[in-house]
A and B are shown apart, each in its own frame.
Chain A
Amino acid sequence: MTDQTTETSDGIPGPDGAAHVIDTEYQIGQDNVEGSVGPFGFDIHNPVFMVSGAAIVAFVFYTLALPEQAGAVFSWLFSSVTKGFDWFFIGAANIFVLFCLMLIVTPLGSVRLGGTEATPDYSYIGWFAMLFAAGMGIGLMFYGVSEPLSHFASSMGGTATEGGMRTDWAPLGAASGNEAEAMRLGMAATIFHWGLHPWAIYAVVALALALFSYNKGLPLTIRSAFYPVFGDAVWGWVGHLIDTLAVFATLFGLATSLGFGATQANAGLNELFGVPVGSTTEVVLISAITAIALVSVLRGLDGGVKILSEINMGLAFVLLIFVLLVGPTLFLLSLFWDSLVAYVQYLPALSNPIGREDVNFSQGWTSFYWAWWISWSPFVGMFIARVSRGRTVREFIICVLLIPSIVCVMWMSVFGGTAMYQVVTDGYTVAQDAALELKLFKMLDVMPLAGITSLVGIVLVIVFFVTSSDSGSLVIDTITAGGKVDAPVPQRAFWCIFEGAVAIVLLLSAGGLQSLQSMVISTGLPFTVVLLLMCYAILRGLMSERRNT
C-alpha cells in the first residue's frame, strides 16, 4: 500500500505506518498446484497438502496394522510428555495469560485488526457464538457435571501418601471431610482448567494469525505468524513443517473427538430411547454428523457455520437457564460468586509450575488439559482469526479471554453445582458414580422434564460436534491451500469426509482412538514452543502498527 512507513531492516513496516503489509517477495498461492480430478477442481499447497495427507494415511495404517505396538508407543509418549514437562506447560500457560492481560491494559490494545479503518465482519452475538462453539462447546457438555464432581469427591477424600509421594488425585492440599471447602476447591480447580488459561492459549494463536494476515497481508496460515522470527524462510521447509504439524494435530484432534463424541451420544441415546450401544450405531452417528457438517461447510461460513453456532448457543443458554431455575437457584447463584472468589484465591497455588505436591492432580489433570488445549489451538485459533477482522486488540482479548471465562464459570457453577448439591443435600450419588458420558443425563434424570432436557443435551452434543467438524474442515482446507480462502469448494468437502472416514476407521479398531488421542496431546509440546514464539511475534507486529487514538 501507499502509506508512508518507516521500514526496519527486516522489512516490517515501522510504527509510523497505518496497518500495512509486510514487504515480502512471496505471492500467496505461488506454491499451489491448480488442476482438476475428473470434474472437480482443486487448488492446493503442494508440499503441505501432500505431506500431511500422506502422513495421516500412514499413521492410520500404522495404528491399524500394529495396534498394540502403536498403543504402547503413543501412551509412553503421552505420559512422558505430560509428566516430564508439566512445569513447562503450567509455566507457559501462565505466560500466555499474563501476556493477554498485558495487551488489554497497554496502548497496544488499541491496534485494530485489519487496519485503522477496518470494520467488524460479524455482530457480537454471531462472533461470540462461533468462537465459543469452536473453542470448547463439546467439552462443557461432558465435563460440566463430571469435573466439579470429581474434584469435589477427591478433595473430600483428603490426601494419601505412599513413599513420600501423593497417591490421591485431590487438588492442592485437599479439604478432607470439609464439604463447603471441598466444594470451593473443586470449583476453583475446574474453573482453572476451563477459564483464563485455555482461552489465553487460543487468544495468542488467534491474535498472531489475525494480525499477520489482516494487518501484514501474509497468507492466513500458521506459518505467517513466524515471519518476524524466520523472515522469508517461513515460505520454505520451516513453514511447511509448521503447517503440516497444524493440519496433523487438527485432523487427528477432530477425528478422535468425533469418535469419542459418537460414543458419548450413543450412551445418551441408549439412556433415553434404548438405542443399542455398539459400533453400528456409532458409525451411523459419525456418518450423520459428517453429513450435516458437509452441508454446513458447503453453505459456507455465514450460511452454515454461523447459523449452527447461533442455534447451539441459544439451546445451551436455554438449558443453562432451565437448570438454574429448576435446580437449587439460590444455592447456585451464591456458588457462582463463591466459585469466582475461590478461583482467585486458589489461582496462585494452582498455577504454580514447580515443587507441586499434588502430582496426580497437576500432571494428570492440569498438564493434560494444557497439552490438550495447546494441541487444539492451531485449529481454534485459526478459526477465531478468520472471524475476528475489524476488532481492536483490546476488544478481541476481552471477548476471547474474559467473557468466555465468565461463561465457563457460570456453566460449571450451574451444572457442577446442581450435581454437588444433589450429592450433599439429597444423598443422590448416581451421577457421581456414573460413567463419564452419562453423568449429565443422570443429573438431569432427577429434575423435572428429564426426557426433554436429556434430548436437548443430546442435540447439543451432536450440534457441537457438527460445528467443530465444519469449522475444522474450513481451517484444514485453508492451511492446505497455502492460506487461500477461495479454494474450490469440493476441496473442503474432501477434508470433511476424510475426517469422518478417519474417525470411523479408528473407532472400529481396538484402542485406535485412545492411542491417537495420546499422540495428538503429545503434539502439545512442540506447539507450546511455537506459541511462546508467537507471543514474541505478536509484540513485534503490534509495535509496528498505528494505534487508534
Chain B
Amino acid sequence: MFQKIVVPIDLAHEAALGKTLQVAADLARSHKASLCFVGVASSAPGGVARTPEEYDAKLQSFAASQTAQHGVPASGHTIISHDPAVELNKALEKAIRDLGADLVVMATHVPNISDYIWAGHGAHVAAHSPASVLLVRDQDSTN
C-alpha cells in the first residue's frame, strides 16, 4: 500500500528515536516500501555538524546503519534552513511533497499546555501534509 515512507529525524536526539525507527522499519518491511530519513541542518555550525556537508554525511551514514540493522532500503535527505527553529514545519512539509512520500512516520511528544501556543511539528505535518501521517508518542499515554 505504501511505497515511500519519510521519517523526519533530529540527529541531536538520536537516542529518543528508538520506538519511531522500529515502527518505520516494520512498516517498510511489511509494505515493501523504502525509507527516507529527512534531517534539517542550519547553514551556521550547529551541535550535530559544523557544516551542512558534514551534516549530510552523518545523515547518509545514519541511513546506511538503519539499512544494515533492519534490512530495508533507506536513504537520507538533508534540508538546509536559514532559521531552523521556526522554518522547520514549512521545510518538512515541502520535503514530504518533493520526495513524493505516501506515509510519514515521526516522533512526537505527548501534548502539553504549550501546544496551544506553538503546535508541535508532528501536529503541523499531520494538518498540512498530503501523505498519511503516523505520529509516534515518545512515551505511552498510560505512563
Contacts and interface: CB of A to CB of B under 8 A. Distances in A.
Contacts of B43: 114, 121, 214, 389
Contact of B42 (A486, A488, A492): A486
Contacts of A492: 85
Contacts of B113: 38-39
B83 interface: yes
A217 B118 CA distance: 31
A485 B47 CA distance: 10
Interface residues of B, number: 20
The size class of the interface chain A forms with chain B is 35 or more
Interface string A216-253: 01111000000000000000000000000000000000
A8 B129 CA distance: 50
Given A214-B44, A483-B45, A115 B85 contact: no
Interface stretch (B30-38, B48-56, B59-67): B48-56
A298 B50 CA distance: 25
Interface of A: 1, 21, 27-29, 38-40, 114-115, 121, 213-214, 217-220, 298-303, 386-387, 389, 483-490, 492
Contacts of B46: 28-29, 484-486
10 contacts: A28-B46, A39-B112, A115-B51, A121-B82, A217-B50, A301-B83, A302-B83, A485-B46, A485-B85, A486-B85
A300 B45 contact: no
Interface in B60-92: 82-87
B54 A220 contact: no
Given A40-B114, A485-B84, A489-B85, A386 B44 contact: yes
A538 B112 CA distance: 47
State the main secondary structure of chain B at its contact with A. loop
A231 B132 CA distance: 51
Given A1-B53, A302-B82, A489 B118 contact: yes
Nearest to A20: B51
A28 B50 contact: yes
Contacts, number: 80
A293 to B, nearest CB: 14
A268 to B, nearest CB: 32
Contact of A299 (B86, B112, B114, B118): B86
A486 B113 CA distance: 22
A323 B105 CA distance: 58
Contacts of A387: 82
Given A40-B114, A121-B82, A217-B50, A302 B45 contact: no
Nearest to A390: B43
A282 B4 CA distance: 56
B22 to A, nearest CB: 25
Given A38-B113, A115-B51, A217-B50, A28 B85 contact: no
B30 to A, nearest CB: 34
A209 to B, nearest CB: 10
A488 B44 contact: no
Given A114-B43, A214-B44, A485-B44, A300 B50 contact: no
Contacts of A214: 43-45, 51
Contact of A217 (B42, B45, B83, B112): B45
Nearest to A492: B85
A386 B114 CA distance: 29
B45 A219 contact: yes
A483 to B, nearest CB: 7
Contacts of B83: 300-302, 485
B86 A298 contact: yes
Given A217-B45, A219-B45, A220-B45, A1 B51 contact: yes
Contacts of B45: 28, 213-214, 217-220, 483
